[in-house]
Structure 1
Amino acid sequence: MNQRATGTHYEQHARRYLEQQAGLTFVAANVHYRGGELDLIMRDEHTWVFVEVRYRKNAQFGSAAESVTPRKQQRLLHAAALWLAQRQQSFDTTSCRFDILAITGEHYDWLPNAFGA
């Protein structure tokens, strides 16, 4: 499986996991902007949830969650701000959060509100 196919596979698993375990509602996947991509956009009642899905086969080189660097967080914040602006919303006018769903091997680790705007 190539890298893109692997990413899509685990994003689909992440979506189902968050729908079943957390009760989130799916909105969109793989939203691309220059300089950033939003893996999953979901809704938790009145809150937009931007989910970064990370997969690692094992923790030999660090956990999947540890791979979300400050630079990656800035790219996600930028992409989310653009997505919200297209809907006449902003971090100041709407409730949103950034979650990480880290998958290491077969272990799922959901980190709600992992970092903020």
Structure 2
Amino acid sequence: MFGNLFNHSREKGQHYERVAETFLKKQGLKSITRNYLCRYGEIDLIMKDGETWVFVEVKFRRGGGFGGALQALSQSKLQKLRRSIYNYLQQSALHNVPLRIDFVAIQGDNNPDIQWIRNIT
């Protein structure tokens, strides 16, 4: 019972991460990797904007209840994301590189509204 729910949620998340990735590529960013996992958490998208490394958190919400997708990024999630980024940088031997954290909020199923917020920290 819960296995199907998890797989469906995971597939939906990956679908909207691809939507966000396509959107950001159209804005000129270059895709590096998707779904980087480490012991601290997950980074949805890692991209580059020129020489700047961009770590992207993607949130989807079907409707606007509870603040919608824009309100879905908690402080604890942001803290886990920062730890995951630090882990990625260490693992990739990237030191003193320009970086930023972006947030993509996607709301609505059929014709989704996509909001891109740069440098959320």
Same-fold status (TM-score > 0.5): yes
Matched, 1:56 2:37: no
More strand per residue? 1
Aligned length: 112
The residue identity in structure 2 corresponding to 1:89 is L
1:62 and 1:2 map into 2 onto residues whose CA distance is 23
In structure 2, runs of 5+ residues without a counterpart are 1-6
Instruction: Give the counterpart of 2:78 among 73, 93, 110.
Output: 73
Q: Per-residue deviation at 1:27? A: 0.2
Kindly report structure 1 stretches of 4+ aligned residues shifted beyond 3 Å: none
CA-atom RMSD in angstroms: 1.1
Q: Residues of 2 paired with 1:96 and 1:63: CA distance?
A: 27
Matched-pair identity in %: 37
Counterpart residue number, 1:83: 88
- The structure where helix makes up a greater share of residues is 2
2: CA distance between counterparts of 1:2 and 1:87? Answer: 31
Determine the C-alpha separation between the residues in 1 that align with 2:93 and 2:34: 20
Any stretches of 5+ residues in structure 1 without a counterpart?
none
Normalised by the size of structure 2, how large is the TM-score?
0.89
| Alignment partners' CA distance in 1, 2:79 and 2:65 | 26
Distance between the aligned counterparts of 1:47 and 1:58, measured in 2? Answer: 33
Select the structure of larger CA radius of gyration.
2
